[in-house]
Amino acid sequence: MTEEHVLVHTEGRTGVVTLNRPKALNALTRTMVETIAAALDRWEHDHGVATVVITGAGERGLCAGGDIRSIHKDAKAGGKASAAFWRDEYRLNARIARYPKPYVAVMDGIVMGGGVGVSAHGSVRIVTERSGVAMPETGIGFVPDVGGTYLLALAPGELGTHLALTGAVVGAGDALLCGLADHFVP
């Protein structure tokens, strides 16, 4: 029996998505992206679901981004799976940004790259004292993706530019200041 990497269920009128790869810091795979998208499709017109909440399993964080190991393996093999993953991931992030119901992201612990994509585009973004939010793609030669350049461009002054160029990790207070989160909950 294989472990489900995304747990999807409802609690009352809330649709709950739990990223469930805690040993891999809940790093996203294409199958995970497809599962989240399918849940959002089901719940969009379901009058029994009023709100969607996304969270991560384990103690370390919501999501450390895309599964870099599988992307690297695919690139070395000359495959096309990475391009398909990014296409689907970007579509999901755009979908989250325009989702018609409240989409609540609990950004506890590590939230980087693709983790920012599945959370910071939501309508309600919650950080905690443990939150570490970053777009570290510059460290591997990419620009901040998953709509990160858009989000960082909205930060005051040149804070977004600094975060984009350095990949620096910010805590709850700076995530709020930069517009990557809306609320702090201990």
Q: Quick one: pLDDT at residue 120?
A: 96
| Domain contains 179 | yes
Number of domains in the chain: 1
| Domain contains 1 | no
Q: Quick one: pLDDT at residue 166?
A: 92
**Closest to 55 in 3D by CA, of 36, 29, 30, 38:** 36
| Domain contains 66 | yes
**181 touches 127 (CB < 8 A):** yes
Strand-strand pairing, 51-56 and 103-107: parallel
| Domain contains 106 | yes
End-to-end CA distance of the chain: 36
Q: Quick one: pLDDT at residue 146?
A: 81
| Domain contains 176 | yes
**Closest to 150 in 3D by CA, of 107, 112, 121, 119:** 121
pLDDT in tens, 58-79: 999 999 998 888 888 888 898 8
Q: Quick one: pLDDT at residue 1?
A: 38
Q: What is the mean pLDDT of each run of 10 residues along the chain (186 residues)?
A: 85 98 96 97 98 97 90 86 90 97 98 95 98 89 82 94 94 97 97
| Domain contains 16 | yes
Q: Quick one: pLDDT at residue 26?
A: 97
| Domain contains 81 | yes
Range of the domain at 47: 6-184
Q: The tokens 């990497």 sit on which residue?
A: 5
pLDDT in tens, 81-92: 888 998 999 999
> CA-to-CA distance for 60 and 107, rounded, in angstroms?
11
| Domain contains 60 | yes
Residues tagged active-site? 66, 114, 137, 145
Q: What is the CATH number of the domain that holds 156?
A: 3.90.226.10
